Structure 1
Amino acid sequence: MSISRRAFGLGSAAVVALAAAPAAVLAQAGLSAEDQAVLRQAQTYLTAMTTAQGTFVETGPNNQRRTGRYYLQRPGKMRFEYTEPAGLLVVADGNNVSRWDPRLNVFRQAPLGQTPLSTFLAREVRLDQGVKIDRVTRMDSGAFAITARDARRPNEGSVILAFAGSPVRLQEWTITDAQGSRTRVQLTTLQPAPGLASSLFQLRDPTRRNRRN
């Protein structure tokens, strides 16, 4: 089945590529040497984040608020487990991204490679492979933000990744889609998570079980 990017309906599915890349790649048009240094700093941090877990708050275009926990295991695996609304799950298992909404009894699935998550969850994500950096914003505190979009589909929206400084930490991202709607995801906690259970990244279609009953 063909699933559009909007079908998964959460900002986490639109994290863009900002990980390991050779320094020479960072000389994008319009970026100063200071901007390029910030990008390298972000890349070093994200490259090292092979596992993580924590809590998040997601605010949608109509101020709809969702909360939950997330788990990350690169390459290829991620889980967003919503506590509000309860039961909503989005899971990347290394091959597919699945979304289960028990309130509507709807299960959707798409190949990981056809979703924006594939760039963030790749073993090696590169800035020279389809990502355009629009802006780097630096604050006196050491915090910074990076605005990027898919260079092949620049009209489909953009993402702003916001980092704390000293030490560097991913704090949040804001997705703007092609219609101008915004979704903000704040990582309220984030910590390394070695040894995550493989079952976290498995999601079978519950509707098949229901049809058998």
Structure 2
Amino acid sequence: MSESNPSLRERHRTRTLTEIHQAALELVGECGYGDTAVDAIAERAGVSRRTFFNYYPSKEAAVLGTTEPRISDAARERFLDPATGDEFARTVRLFMDVLRDATGPPELTARRHELVENNPELKRRVGMHITTVESLVVSMVVEHSAHGTTPRSEETSHAFVLLAGAVIKFAFRTNTHLATTLDDDAVQLALDHAIGVFRTALKEIS
């Protein structure tokens, strides 16, 4: 998630990312994915080719609205704060925060989903993007574990994060409206419910 009070620079960055992403979606809808060029996207968005590449590394990224995953200060603080939940719940939220920060706005989700379903290359790119998010979250969990009272191995931390990703996938599949909502409370409520379901399931097989 973005910080609650983003700076003017951050707001400008978010607005430009969205404008380029929206232009890419419009052009792909009009011309098809293969016939849409970076220059055309930049022109539609009202930016230079150089500015385009300052915001997105490729046409695929602009169409998907994906940026390089990062852990914001707000996401880091929430993950490190024991008052926000136990470590697994905080890991789920960290994964969600990083994923949403590195993905286009929720209101354009339906259009992105339609393009991905009709283009195998974009589907592959989405998978690569999620894997990159996973790796970043794993590194944070490993770092945090190393300073804890019961450090875990990198392998176990990776499994921990993959399970967190499964919780998110379950929450969004059972609450399809979440993909397009800006209501953070609704997202958190669904994640909390999904975590509870997984805890119950894991008890049954342990």
* TM-score (norm: length of structure 2): 0.24
Query: Highest CA radius of gyration, 1 or 2?
Result: 2
Higher share of residues assigned helix: 2
Higher share of residues assigned strand: 1
Larger RCO, structure (CA 8 Å, separation 6 or more) = 1
